[in-house]
Chain A
Amino acid sequence: MGLLSIIRKIKRKEKEMRILTVGLDNSGKTTIVLKINGEDTSVISPTLGFNIKTITYNKYTLNIWDIGGQRTIRSYWRNYFEQTDGLVWVVDSSDLRRLDDCKMELDNLLKEEFLNELIVGIFATSGHYCSFCFGFLQRLSGASLLILANKQDIQGALTAAEIAKVLNLEAMDKTRHWKIVGCSAYTGEGLLEGLDWLVQDIASRIYVLD
């Protein structure tokens, strides 16, 4: 456990968190990130590739990775998983037709993350650096999941509770920390509530709250 505690100490000093924002295209990921950062959201083109925003939030530095959601680049999502502290899954609550798609991609993502974890796990038991790998294993399996049911300002959008039902979130692995929050990137409503929870949850896992 020696190395793990060193890593923890370094992280504590930096107070840095890595947050991944993913979801189908047109769900409003970039708008959410820009809105949180207090930037102009009136002209946003669909994201090709990814954007990174570094935001100081309370006493933490958040590295928010906003990954494009177009079908062509979805297969690259997993390249960003490593050492992610928090996962933000954005849902377009007004896009009823693609909710099935949305559920499938989320399931894939979590499975993928689980696989990642498994590989590290196997590595951990086969190598001599057990405690070192164990540290990463804990972090990966623990990535807190925040689901943002976006576009609540649009008339006819499903509520967060309805989205939770469609995505069958209750059936998720019991060890995962997750929360669903209804929000609107357009008005900004609900964004801070979600981010607050995410940061607190990560902090309580990694930094062992002061």
Chain B
Amino acid sequence: MEEEDRRNPGETANKTLDPISNKKHLAMIERLSNHHQSRINQSLSRKSDSDTSTRSFLNRFSQSKQSIESELDRCRQLSISDPEAKFHLDKVSLLISDLEKLVAENSYFLPPYEVRSSLKSISDLKESLEIVSSKVLPKKKFAFRNKSATKKENQTNEVKVSKIEKTSLLVKDSPGFRSKEGEILVRDFSGLEMGEFMLSDLNSCEIRLMGCLRALFIHRLRNCKVFVGPVMGSILIEEVENCLFVLASHQIRIHHAKGTDFYLRVRSRPIIEDSNGVRFAPYCLSYDGVEKELKDSSLDEETGNWANVDDFKWLRAMQSPNWCILPESERVGAIVIPKPEKETCSESCLDSSFLSIEAEASAFWDEEKDSDSVNLHFALCRCSVNSRRYLAFVTIRIPLVSFYEDGCRHVKVQTSRVERALECSILAKSRFNELEFEQEPARA
């Protein structure tokens, strides 16, 4: 049965295929023979074709070879350091490369022997060109080296220049607190249009920033407590250790943080990178007016994103070992910052946010006992308040801390002697706490 079964399909197939396959077979043979014939014809024609083209190639090749050789001979007779020598040599090398191209273009039909021999003669030509050029232009190599050396010198010069430029540009620093130890640093930006602010190289400090900021950069802080009002923009934190941060912002990036607690309100997901032992909790800062400032910065809503931390160094699905949520029992309570008194000057300035004092106005300042403020007294000077001009005595009251730090941006007064008269030059049209002071020799 099985044998029959096996044989049957084959037979039936043969039977059914026979007439059709026969036809196909014949057609195929016919096509093949046609094809073969045409190929023979083609190859014949090609042979004659290639014969003629080989001949023409060889003609062209020998012609240009001869012209190159004669050109080379002419170069040989040139005297050393002839100004035209270089021109001639360049011409020869161009001709040689043209010849090379010719061989390459025609190599597909050339017999292998011709290809080899023509390549050989090209390399011979190149060699003789080299010899001639070394004779006629003996200093060529040296000149080349010399050239590259001067180039390098130029480059180093450029680097130097750019370095100088860099340092001069870096003089323009963003406002901020830098390089302090064991201090309480306070700034209030309420009602001001602040751009970016920088905290860098602080150790064992407490920093309180009130009011809206656009951007905050934090770099190299140790054992610090940082309380910050809303930042409408982003906060970038790098290299902090053993700190406490209370921050509100649209974006927060944390790099290289160690053993630090973050109390955040953030619109997007905060990220950490190269950090470990960092813990997160919700924002807990309050001071007079913080609610309004949060609202103005679209940060009034608690998104819960403080707990949605992405660790860029931990891409697995499971919880990153580098961060965790701060247990409620270990969280600090609500942090309340008492609002410092607003800066005032003379009565006429009380409501103003804009004061300018003529340059070169002289002033002296004093500290009130048991007070954390400084009074700056200007002698009779021309000033303008809200673009109304006055001739007046002006007194400005500034929180002590911001006076010694940089509450008056760029205050360069370092000493704390009382009742000391100073010559101050003030940049016209600066804001209250952005007055520019330059200390000049104190009066005797």
A interface residues (Cβ-Cβ under 8 A, vs B): 25-26, 42-46, 48, 70-73, 94-97, 99-100, 151, 153-158, 162, 165-166, 168, 171, 186
Contacts and interface: CB of A to CB of B under 8 A. Distances in A.
Contacts of A165: 165, 169
Given A46-B310, A70-B271, A97-B217, A156 B255 contact: no
A42 B267 contact: yes
24 contacts: A25-B236, A25-B253, A26-B253, A42-B250, A42-B298, A45-B268, A45-B269, A46-B268, A48-B310, A72-B313, A95-B236, A97-B200, A97-B217, A97-B219, A151-B233, A154-B195, A156-B175, A157-B196, A166-B165, A166-B166, A166-B169, A168-B162, A168-B165, A171-B158
B196 A94 contact: yes
B233 A72 contact: no
Given A94-B195, A97-B217, A45 B310 contact: yes
B271 A96 contact: no
Residue from A42, A45, A151 with most neighbouring chain B CB atoms (10 Å)? A45
Interface string B179-204: 00000000000000111101010000
A95 B217 contact: yes
Given A72-B273, A96-B173, A154 B268 contact: no
A158 B217 CA distance: 15
Nearest to A49: B315
Given A25-B253, A71-B255, A165-B169, 19 more contacts: A43-B267, A45-B271, A46-B310, A70-B253, A72-B273, A72-B312, A73-B312, A94-B196, A94-B215, A95-B217, A96-B173, A97-B200, A151-B215, A151-B233, A154-B215, A155-B196, A156-B174, A158-B169, A168-B162
B234 interface: yes
Interface of B: 158, 162, 165-166, 169-170, 172-175, 193-196, 198, 200, 214-215, 217, 219, 233-234, 236, 250-251, 253, 255, 267-269, 271, 273-274, 298, 310, 312-313, 315
A60 to B, nearest CB: 31
B312 A48 contact: yes
Contact of A44 (B175, B251, B253): B251
A182 to B, nearest CB: 15
Contacts of A72: 273-274, 312-313
Given A44-B251, A45-B251, A96 B170 contact: yes
Contacts of B198: 97
B273 A155 contact: no
Contact of A156 (B195, B251, B310): B195
A171 B215 CA distance: 31
Given A42-B298, A70-B273, A155 B193 contact: yes
A186 B251 CA distance: 13
A162 B169 contact: yes
Nearest to B194: A155
Given A94-B195, A95-B236, A96-B170, A154 B271 contact: no
B251 A26 contact: yes
Given A26-B251, A100-B166, A165-B165, A157 B195 contact: yes
Nearest to B162: A168
A186 B196 CA distance: 15
A-B pairs with lowest CB-CB distance, top 10: A155-B195, A45-B268, A45-B269, A156-B195, A154-B195, A94-B196, A46-B271, A154-B214, A72-B312, A168-B162
B269 A46 contact: yes
Contacts of A171: 158, 162
Given A71-B273, A73-B312, A96 B172 contact: yes
B274 to A, nearest CB: 7
A31 B173 CA distance: 26
B268 A156 contact: no
Contacts of A153: 214
A99 B170 CA distance: 9
B269 A156 contact: no
Contacts of A168: 162, 165
A156 B236 CA distance: 17
Nearest to A68: B312
Contacts of B253: 25-26, 46, 70
Contacts of B193: 155
A186 B310 CA distance: 24
Contacts of A73: 312
A169 B142 CA distance: 33
B214 A26 contact: no
A38 to B, nearest CB: 19
Contacts of A70: 253, 271, 273, 312
Contacts of A162: 169
A94 B248 CA distance: 19
A96 B178 CA distance: 14
Given A45-B271, A71-B274, A72-B313, A96 B162 contact: no
A26 B200 CA distance: 18
Contacts of B215: 94-95, 151, 154
A72 B200 CA distance: 23
